[in-house]
Amino acid sequence: MANWKARVGILSPSVFEIPSDWSATLPPGISLAASGLNVRAHTPEEFEKAVGDLESALQVFLAEEVDAILVGGITLATQRGFQAEQNILSDLSIRLRLPLTTGMQASVEALRHFEAKRIVIATAYKESINGAVRKYFEEAGFEVAGIRGLGVSRPVEQAKLQRDASAKVARTLIQAHPDADAILLQGRWPSVGSVQRLETELKLPVVATVAASLWWALRRLRLDIPVRGFGRLLQGASS
C-alpha cells in the first residue's frame, strides 16, 4: 500500500468505540488494531483484574505486527501510580520489543511539551477516581490547581455524555483557577473536538487524552504528520 505509514495497537480498558475521537483525528496511512480488557466499572476490583491481565492481553499485538502500543484508560495509573507505571511500561516495552505507553503517560509528555506547571484536569469520573488521577499528575511533577468530574462510574457512561461536556467542565475549572497554565481533558469522553475552540477562547494549551496518545505515537514513530483542526499539539505533529 503506497500510503501506508504505520500500525498502532490500542488496548482499551473496555471497548474500542466507532466513531470516536480516534475516528476524527487519525491521519491517512495510520491504521489501528484494537483489543480490550473488559473493565465494566470503575472499581478497584475491576482495575486489579485488568492489571493482572495486562501482559497477556498485549500479546495479541505481536501477531498483528503493530509498530507501537497505546494502553488506554486509567487502570494501571490509578492502581500503581506514576513511577510504578513508568517502570512497568519500560519492562513491558523491553519484553515486547515495541514502544509502549498509556494515555496518561502520553498526556504527561504533552503537558511537559507545553512546559506546563500548574494545571487543571477535567474528567468524567467520580471523586474517588479523581483523587487517584490528581495524585498521579502530582507525582509526575505538576501542581494540580483543580480537578473536576461528572460522577461517571462505568466506562460506557462516558460515551453517552454530550459532546461539549468536557468543554463545560474545563471552563468551570478555569473560572475557579484562572492562574492555571494548561488544561487536561482526561478520559474516553468526547473531547478532541473542543480543544481548538477552548485554546482560542481561554488562551491556554489544551491536552485531550486521545490527542496526546496520537501525538506520542507519531513522535515515537518519527512521522511528521500535522493533524489540523484539533489544537496546537496535533497541529505541530511530531515537533
Summarised one tens digit per residue, pLDDT across range 142-167 is 999 999 999 988 877 887 888 899 99
Grid cell locating 55: 501482559
Q: What is the dihedral of CA 235, 138, 194, 153, to 10 degrees?
A: 140
Whether residue 35 is contained in a domain is answered as yes
What type of residue is 110?
Answer: A
Whether residue 239 is contained in a domain is answered as no
What is the structure's pLDDT at 94?
93
Q: Check whether residue 139 and residue 172 sit in a common domain.
A: yes
Q: Check whether residue 197 and residue 135 sit in a common domain.
A: yes
**Residue 221: CB partners within 8 Å, gap ≥ 6?**
5, 6, 67, 68, 99
Q: Check whether residue 112 and residue 203 sit in a common domain.
A: yes
Q: What is the pTM of this model?
A: 0.91
Q: Check whether residue 214 and residue 192 sit in a common domain.
A: no
Domain that holds residue 33: 6-102+210-225
Grid cell locating 13: 480498558
What is the structure's pLDDT at 92?
87
Q: How do residues 37-81 score in pLDDT, each as one tens digit?
A: 876 666 777 667 767 778 888 999 999 999 999 998 777 777 788
**Residue 32: CB partners within 8 Å, gap ≥ 6?**
7, 8, 9, 10, 16, 22, 26
**Residue 5: CB partners within 8 Å, gap ≥ 6?**
29, 30, 221, 223, 225
**Residue 144: CB partners within 8 Å, gap ≥ 6?**
119, 120, 121, 134, 137, 138
Q: Check whether residue 161 and residue 113 sit in a common domain.
A: yes
**Residue 187: CB partners within 8 Å, gap ≥ 6?**
74, 123, 124, 125, 158, 209
* Domain at 110, CATH number: 3.40.50.1860
Count of domains for the chain: 2
Q: Check whether residue 123 and residue 171 sit in a common domain.
A: yes
Q: How do residues 105-148 score in pLDDT, each as one tens digit?
A: 999 999 999 999 999 999 999 998 899 999 999 999 999 999 99
Angle in degrees, CA 65, 68, 73, rounded to 5: 120
Whether residue 234 is contained in a domain is answered as no
What is the structure's pLDDT at 176?
98
Q: Check whether residue 86 and residue 39 sit in a common domain.
A: yes
